[in-house]
Structure formats: structure tokens, C-alpha cells
Amino acid sequence: MFVNGVDWIMIVLNVGGVYFTTSYETLNMQESFFSGMIRSNSHNFFFIDRDPTHFRHILNALRGSPSYPDTDAGLHELANEAEYYAMFEFKKDILSKQKVMNTSSITNIMSQMLHRMHSMN
């Protein structure tokens, strides 16, 4: 299939029983687990024995539109997935987001504590 004059190859990924569809080009955009997987294999269907919970974030990052979970635990899990998939720059971005989230949470907690202390007086 050609899209905008480029041969577009569809790839189906079964991640822990959940199916994701993407393109060869997306998986080959950066050096990662995926680029190695598709270059060394002529198949268009792959099974990856991983939890699919955060896989949409992995694909979004490969597509150039990263998205992130909104909890500290979710960011931690996604960072582990990024490391597994050898997406080291994405992992750095996740850890930066996590640091900002934690700093914001600490600031918010301290602000609430100060507010409570003032309201007791």
C-alpha cells in the first residue's frame, strides 16, 4: 500500500493479548527494541509477552507525540517499559515528568499543611 508516495507496511503487534496496529516506518523511526525486531524479521505480526497497560504511550512516543500516565506509579511503570523497549530518551523524559510531578505534589502538601496551621490559630 502506498501512502503519499511511500510504501506503507502495516505491522500488527499483539502485546499481552491486546492488538495494536502501526507501521513499519513508525517502528523503525529510532533505534529501539522495535527497529531491531522488524529489521531482523520479515513478518508483519509480532507477539510481545508484556503487560499492554502502557503500550499506547510507547507507540505515541515512537510516533513523535509522547503521552504520559497521570500518576507517579504509572510513570514509574512506563519508565520500566521504556527501558525494556530500549527507548532511553523517552525514559529520560518520563523520569523528568515524574520529578516535576513529585516536586509539585510536595509543594502542594506543604501548602495544605501551612494553610491548616494558619486556620488553627
Task: Tell me the residue type at 78.
Answer: L
Residue 101 CB burial class (10 angstroms; 0-12, 13-18, ≥19): middle
Instruction: Give the Å distances, CA to CA, from 102 to 15, 53, 55, 76, 109.
Output: 30, 22, 23, 12, 11
Q: Which fold has domain 2-120?
A: Potassium Channel Kv1.1; Chain A (3.30.710)
The predicted-structure confidence for 7-41, as pLDDT tens digits, reads as follows 679 999 999 999 999 999 999 999 999 999 998 88
Question: What percent of the chain is predicted at pLDDT more than 90?
Answer: 70
Q: For residue 22, give the 3-state DSSP assignment.
A: strand
d(Cα 76, Cα 41) in Å, to the nearest integer? 31
Domain assignments of the chain as residue spans, ordered by start: 2-120
pLDDT band at 102 (very low <50, low <70, confident <90, very high): confident
pTM over the 0.75 mark:
yes
In the predicted structure, residue 60 carries a pLDDT above the cut 90: yes
